Chains A and B, each alone.
Chain A
Amino acid sequence: MLENFAILPCNGLDKCAGVISGEIAKKLCENDKNEIICPVFYRVADAKYNKIAGEHPLLVIDGCPTRCASKLAAEKNLKISQRILITEEAKYHHIELNSGLRILENEKSLIEIILNGLNKAEAKPTKVSKETKASYNFEYETFQNGKFIFRVPKNPEVFFNENDCWAYVVGNRARIGVTDFVQQNLSDILYFTPPEIGAEIDQFGEVGDIESSKALVELISPVSGKVVSINETLVQKPEMINENPYELGWIAEIELTDFESDKELLIGFDKYFEIMKKKVEASNG
């Protein structure tokens, strides 16, 4: 049973998915231990809702990928505990939403599925993350731009793609993550969507995303293989990516399927160091 939550829906009134977000929030708040946050009122007078959000874990319900509710949470510096995207849920459950604004049969079914999912979340079987025992000893080369220091690992086992993600390869496994360029560019990272454990990923396929109030970055895997482990601590503490995106802030571990072929399109420290320097200079004008 979802209880003691603060619930922030986008409540968008111009799209069916937005209307559904509001409907779900209202249903959840029929349990009076949950508290609703009205996004409209929050924009103009935030004292009331800052208090509620400070006292409860926050569930954000976005209707569509514009993610107005998530953006509002980021603007108000709220920590999101759980998030739902209605259009994504509809796709996942193969439910087509109507183009109008009314809650009809399909929409009712989706609302029911989402509410059941939320209320049974604790009972959901979770896949076990099997973190490797391998040790990752990073050695860095650094450069400075303005007040910021950028680190790039120089171990020969670390490979990069030009999308600013790294892979530290040990045997048939790789630990992956983003580089300092990504975390500095995003500044305070507020949300991490991990890849699913067991998912088969192609090289350059998506392995989750991270989000700050400034931007959303899709994580692009340098290697192909199966996700065997994710850094679960990041789900609650995504800010660890800002602290160190190579060590505490690693993203996932991949069991490699064809690293010899993947390697063709990866680069080592020398090349990436130069590329990152250029990117940092370009982004700072």
Chain B
Amino acid sequence: MSETTFMGVERDKIDWKPTIDYSKCDYCMECTKFCPHRVFEVHENEEIKLIVKNPNNCVVFCRACSKICGPDALSFPDKNATTLSIKEIRKEENNA
């Protein structure tokens, strides 16, 4: 059971998180400084130095980190698809 909900749906049932394109990311770490929800985690001594550690902390529909990403390395799911999926889950839960 998820601890948080968004629009009445358990957060971990909603696919909304940033995806890092490692071919573009230059590890400037601006996103980690920017996001107050600790979605990202820095692994300074590893080859992959940045990961999406807490996807469920990501605010559904917020894409602000991708807007401040210099190398344009962050992407998000399609908003309309996410909205539809939230509506579907709510419908299923209401009918259950």
Contacts and interface: CB of A to CB of B under 8 A. Distances in A.
B67 A205 contact: no
B13 interface: no
Interface string B57-96: 0011111100111111000000110110011001000000
A207 to B, nearest CB: 12
Contacts of B1: none
| Contact residues on A (Cβ < 8 Å of other chain), bracket | 20 to 34
A66 B26 CA distance: 12
Contacts of B36: 215, 283
B16 to A, nearest CB: 10
| Contact residues on B (Cβ < 8 Å of other chain), bracket | 20 to 34
B64 A264 contact: no
B30 interface: yes
Contacts of B83: 202-204, 265
Contacts of A206: 63
A45 to B, nearest CB: 26
Contacts, number: 58
Interface stretch (A110-118, A216-224, A239-247): A216-224
A117 B34 CA distance: 31
Contacts of B63: 206, 218
Given A64-B71, A204-B83, A217 B28 contact: no
23 contacts: A64-B71, A64-B72, A65-B67, A65-B68, A65-B69, A65-B72, A67-B68, A161-B61, A162-B7, A163-B59, A163-B61, A202-B83, A203-B83, A204-B82, A204-B83, A215-B34, A215-B64, A218-B62, A264-B87, A265-B7, A265-B86, A265-B87, A267-B7
